[in-house]
Structure 1
Amino acid sequence: MSELSDILGAYGASADVSKSLHKKLDDSTAVAPVTTPHHKQSHSLTRRRQYAAPGSGSAAVRGPDTPSSFTNQKQTPASQRFESRQNSGTVSATLNDSNLPVPSSWRGTCSQVCLSSVERTSVVAKPYAYMFQKVSSKVAALDDWLAELEDHFAKALELPDRGHPGVASQTEMTTVGRVCCDCESERVRANASSLVLECSSEFAGCRVPLNLKSVTDASLFPGQVVALDGMNTVGNEFCVSKVHKLPVPPLPAPATIAEPLSIAIAAGPFSVDDNLTYQPLIELMAKVAEEPPDVLLLIGPFVDTNSEEVKKCSVDMLYDDFFRALVEQKIVSQLPASTHLVLVPSSRDIHHHSVYPQPPFASWSALKKDNIHLFSDPACVSINGVVLGWTSVDVLMQLNRQEVVLGNAGDKQSRLPAHILQQRSFCPTFPPPKGVNMEVDQLLMEHNFMPCTPHVLILPSDFTRGFIKNVNGCVCINPSRLSKGLFSRMLIKPSSSAAGSSLASTSVTQLVNI
């Protein structure tokens, strides 16, 4: 303080000014003591401990680890519509090709349930480095994938050689390439006049406009690999006379199922659009507790980026903590001990890696149980020998928007899943759907190839209000969204079917209003 007085005196300050400054400094020191790094660390640790174990408190009483939205009783227009629905418990659709007796109870009775990936490349086992994709590796992956499917066409059609569609010729030829749109803007929809054929690097990747006036029974979309019969008479366009599609891969050999296998399937969002009370999920888990299935498959999004509450940033904790609280308090705590739970992420999950293919959720202590399983998106998984394939990406909606139908191409609900099986790809459209951050080299060369036609293909979509179809022996299910009040259930009866037989003949599948 004496040093301060000397400095003030040197600049001509009076004694009264010096005393006033001394008094203010003394008061500020007494009121606002210096906070040490140790104090900050203690406060931070306290906050972390509050959120370290979501779900440890009661779900009925809001604690530091319970989101306020879980206990919010405020009625919203969407929640009122959901609660006032009149079709609760009714069956919306059924697939029962063999007219098997519809079970009075869907309770699972399987004594042992075994889940495993079909092949190493059919699942993403762990997170990988993304956003490091080079243009050269992307081009190479697309060309390698086209070459892979060209080989399948060569075997299926017994092609001795493929012609160059960009070279003028008066002789009809068969060529293979990828269908593209000459304008790849999201605002422009593909049509018969805008389609071109992109060749592989064998023909320098040239693009040739397609003349489809002579085709009367085909459906094409950007990204589809096809074989075309036709000719390029003057060199400016390829006149197509016939479109060949890849045959669907064979079904896997099913294991002998000694006991009935009950599976329940639901896809997110699991709460209505304008709140995060998760009332549809609560009612689903009540149904599961009433009639426990052998397997409960839940496909994201769990914390949806499109939710109005998420857009308004009204969640009162970190999104990762919110997801953990949701899983522990709304799902795991209500899960019957006999039911195996499978959790699958979505690109719309705000707390998870927004990349496709998408790694599984990170596990924590509450999920380290023998009956809880975390799988990637997409994946092919075997459950007691029954192969299930799924993806959370709304591929059906993208195909519906981009598909060009020529003449009579058949039933759309069967045709769209058939494209996925024929292309051997969970996401065959290219460019990918809006909002899907596709890692092309990872998807096409590592985790995109379907090792076989799955017995059950699950494709959650906003396209129509859900459906169940038998497509070339594969049970294709669009379970719609649980927020719309729909989920699917299936019961697979014991059988000793031969290799390549259809599961549709030994199962009953329903689409149910929750």
Structure 2
Amino acid sequence: MALVNAAIIESELNIFDIVCGDDILDKMLEQCLCNRLQGGEIVLEWVAFSTTKGGLKLSLNTLEQFEHEVLNKKYKAKPGVAKREESHNRTRDINSLHDLIKAEEEEESLLDSYSTPAKGSQKRALTTPEHPQSKRSAALIASPGLLLCPASFSPSATPSQKYSQRGGRGEVVSTFGAVQGTRWAGRKGQTNGVQLELLEGSEDSLINNYKYMFQRLRDVRNVLTEKIEELGEVLRTNFNIEEFSPVSLPAQDSVTVLGQVCCDSNGKLNAQSVLLEAGPDQGGRQVPVDLSELRDYSLFPGQVVVMEGMNTSGRKLVASKLFEGVPLPFYSTPIKQEMDMDIPDVPEQLMVMVACGPYTPSDGLTFDPLVDLINVIARDRPDVCILLGPFVDSKHEQIEKSLVTETFDAIFSRCVGSIVEGTKGVGCRLVFVPSQRDVHHHFIYPQPPFILPDLSKDDAKRVTLVPDPCTLLIEGVTFGLTSTDILFHMGAEEISCASGSDRFSRILKHMLTQRNYYPLYPPVEEVNMDYEKFQGYGQMPLSPDVLIVPSELRFFIKDVIGCVCVNPGRLTKGQVGGTYGRLLIQRSAPSIEGKRVSPCVAGQVVKI
């Protein structure tokens, strides 16, 4: 499916003289992504729906009605993968191969220009030791553009006109905490002392590549059974439940059962297709569930739940009560106090910047958004910069059509090299997180970290390579990171009947209460899950203070049961610029009343 963006939807609406705001366009874009629709298709569906309803006005409320009455019924399981695979795997003719060979010959002289600017920038930086702050920084800030010059890895690409003409640069689009009067800057050169490490240490973390495609169905079943048993024991203890009854045992009294939610077919889950699958200790059977007596519920395939209800025949459970999961405790560490009580040791605030790829517009492999991001890093000088993939996007049109003239590894190395060189004058800590969409990396979940053998010793000290997913510890504050679009995946499968809660908060709460970074089962087709590794490296060791969950859906930053959850958006959206996030964190002790205080002081999502 071709990329859909708000501009396409707006142009389709203009054909019918329909004018709307950005919030409505974002909502329609979200509906396109969830139902695998093109911009023109959803507009035609809306016009037809509006006409049958007597000319409804386009608003958020009518879009909700439109989604409930049309989209949820008509587009439950619309196939959208076959076309993408067909375009990716089609056979090329001799003419297209001849054009590619000719383009590579013309590109040889062009690629020779890449080495000269890099050497020149290093030479300038070394010959000005008396002014390291001004001249060295200026030389290094210019180096990303030089390394990426002529800013393209394909012979036919030109700089994106829509990206260069974008509006609202630097506009704050989402806020959290006390942002009034906040100074968004790092600690000015003290980043060498920033403590940054994987929470569980290198021995218990995924730091190396591993062999995959060898798991057996029996092993997958064992992992799922252990998940049901572990979460079931937590729920039993928390809600003082004596014991669980077998799901398929007939009983005339109310029973309490434990199991995993699943669907009775290969389609999308709905209120009439919910099954509860018990573990071996509860009989290992499946039973249909009647949700009509539940006022509020939010369910998705793979969710471990405890239900109370009637099962008089043993063939259907009429649920009357649903027990929600329990999140893990937060990380706690004592804060050192000075011997002199008049001068307490108050930790300084740290600035953390978060950005997620792709770092190129969809109409070309120009890295202009990446260069702009490096300039922002040089201006604000954050203490830590977390960069999530994709860096070389497998969904990019020119990569799908094999129009690049360098290897994927070479493009990635040049991209990362420009980031490292461009931020050398700032000295901030860099964290690189891989993505399932990185075409040059292992396409497996959990995903091992990148390998950068060409880093110098000085650069390696401030570069941290982590897997997807992972839990980081930054100055006593825990960060949960995943570049997999779990919001989009779970949003397409979740069903709910809940008043006063938004879908994002429900999904994020599910992640925290199910205690892992990808609770959906079965996973979507584009996620290749290794369940044995997932059991060891995909679980949350604790509830993170900050959870980073980038998604194609609308950006946000919000508090969910004490965890500050951030979707920074993507740095580019189609042919135009996207957003990035920035946070101010400060490790603090609980208040006098014993209530936990979030270490995230303030946060913003900003347009690039």
TM-score, normalised with respect to structure 1: 0.83
The residue aligned with 1:350 is 439
Letter of the 1:175 counterpart: V
- Alignment of 1:491 onto 2:491: no
Distance in 2, Cα, partners of 1:404 & 1:379: 28
SS of the counterpart of 1:468? strand
Are residue 365 (structure 1) and residue 444 (structure 2) matched? no
Give 1:67 deviation, angstroms.
8.1
Instruction: Report which stretch shifted further, 192-201 or 360-369.
Output: 360-369
Q: 1:69 aligns with which of 140, 146, 152?
A: 152
Which residue type is aligned with residue 152 of structure 2? S
| Residue of structure 2 aligned with 1:312, choices 401, 405, 409 | 401
Shift of 1:73: 9.4
Q: SS in structure 2 opposite 1:457?
A: strand
Residues 337 and 87 of structure 1: CA distance in aligned 2, closer, same or farther (over 3 Å): closer
Tell me the CA shift for residue 275 of structure 1.
1.2
Q: Does the 8 Å CA contact 2:260/2:276 hold for their aligned counterparts?
A: yes
Higher RCO structure (Cα 8 Å, ≥6 apart): 1
Question: Are positions 1:470 and 2:559 aligned together?
Answer: yes
Q: Secondary structure at the match of 2:257?
A: strand
Cα distance, 1:469–1:455 mapped onto 2, change above 3 Å: same
Answer yes or no: is the 8 Å Cα contact 2:258–2:282 preserved in 1: no
Counterpart residue number, 1:218: 297
Asked whether 1:436 is paired with 2:436, we answer no
2: CA distance between counterparts of 1:54 and 1:153? 63
Paired with 2:213 and 2:391, the residues of 1 have a C-alpha distance of 24
1:455 and 1:503 in contact (8 A); partners too: no
1:133-148 correspondence to structure 2 within 5 Å = 133-148=215-230
CA distance in structure 2 between the aligned counterparts of 1:230 and 1:367, rounded to whole angstroms: 63
CA distance in 2, matches of 1:232, 1:61: 67
1:386 aligns with 2:488: no
* Superposition deviation, residue 264 in structure 1: 0.1
Query: Aligned residue for 2:176?
Result: 95
Counterpart in the other structure of 2:429: 340
Hey, what's the Cα distance between the residues in 1 that align with 2:417 and 2:116? 7
Query: Is 2:280 aligned against 1:201?
Result: yes
Task: Find the residue that maps to 1:348 and give its secondary structure.
Answer: coil
- Structure 2 CA distance for aligned equivalents of residues 501 and 297 of structure 1: 29
2:517 matched residue in structure 1: 426
Pair 1:178-2:268 in alignment: no
Whole-Å separation in 2 of the counterparts to 1:306 and 1:252: 37
Q: Quick one: which amino acid aligns to residue 508 of structure 1?
A: A
1:267 aligns with 2:356: yes
Q: SS of the counterpart of 2:253?
A: coil
Deviation, structure 1 residue 411: 2.1
Structure 1 SS opposite 2:461: coil
Amino acid at match of 1:381: L
Instruction: Report deviation, 1:433.
Output: 2.3
1:141 and 1:61 mapped to 2: Cα distance? 48
Q: CA deviation at 1:142?
A: 1.1
Q: Is the 8 A contact 2:246 2:282 kept in 1?
A: yes
Residue pair 1:251, 1:501 contacting (<8 A) in 2 also: no
Structure 2 CA distance for aligned equivalents of residues 473 and 122 of structure 1: 26
CA gap of 1:157–1:339, structure 2 versus 1, over 3 A, is same
Distance 2:471 2:402 in 1: 35
Change (3 A) 1:102 1:176: farther
| Alpha-carbon separation, structure 2, partners of 1:505 and 1:386 | 7
How big is the shift at 1:244? Answer: 0.8
Query: More displaced, 388-397 or 498-507?
Result: 498-507
1:113 paired with 2:198, answer no
5+ residue gaps, structure 1 = 1-49
Report the alpha carbon displacement of residue 106 of structure 1 after superposing the two structures with TM. Answer: 2.1
Query: Secondary structure of the residue that 1:476 maps to in structure 2?
Result: strand
The structure that has the greater radius of gyration is 1
Change (3 A) 1:255 1:367: farther
Identity across the alignment (%)? 33
CA–CA separation in structure 2 for the residues paired with 1:289 and 1:258: 24
Shift of 1:396: 0.5
Indicate which of 356, 373, 384 corresponds to 1:295.
384
Report the counterpart of residue 32 of structure 1 in structure 2: none
Structure 2: segments with no counterpart, 5+ residues: 1-111, 121-142, 336-345
Structure 2 distance, partners of 1:513, 1:282, is 14
Alignment equivalent of 1:250, drawn from 329, 332, 348: 329
Is 1:417 paired with 2:498?
no
What SS is found at the alignment partner of 1:153?
helix
Contact between 2:585 and 2:601, CA under 8 Å: does it hold in 1? yes
CA deviations 1:214-243 (Å, max 9, x no partner) are: 011110000110110112111211110011
How far apart are the structure 2 equivalents of 1:175 and 1:366?
54
Segment of structure 1 superposing worse, 320-329 or 421-430? 320-329
Deviation at 1:154, TM superposition (A): 1.4
Instruction: State the AA in 2 paired with 1:352.
Output: H
- Tell me, yes or no, if the aligned pair for 2:585 and 2:599 is still in contact at 8 Å: no
1:28 aligned partner:
none
User: Within 5 A, what are the aligned runs for 1:397-408?
Assistant: 397-408=488-499
Distance 2:275 2:289 in 1: 5
1:459 to 2:542 alignment: no
Task: Tell me if the contact between 1:54 and 1:321 (Cα under 8 Å) persists in the aligned partners.
Answer: no
Indicate the residue corresponding to 1:82 in structure 2: 163
Question: For the structure 1 residues 183 and 338, does the alpha-carbon distance in structure 2 shift closer, same or farther, using more than 3 Å as the test?
Answer: same
The alpha-carbon distance between structure 1 residues 144 and 506, as it changes in their structure 2 partners (threshold 3 A), is closer
**Alpha carbons 1:133, 1:439 under 8 Å: kept:** yes
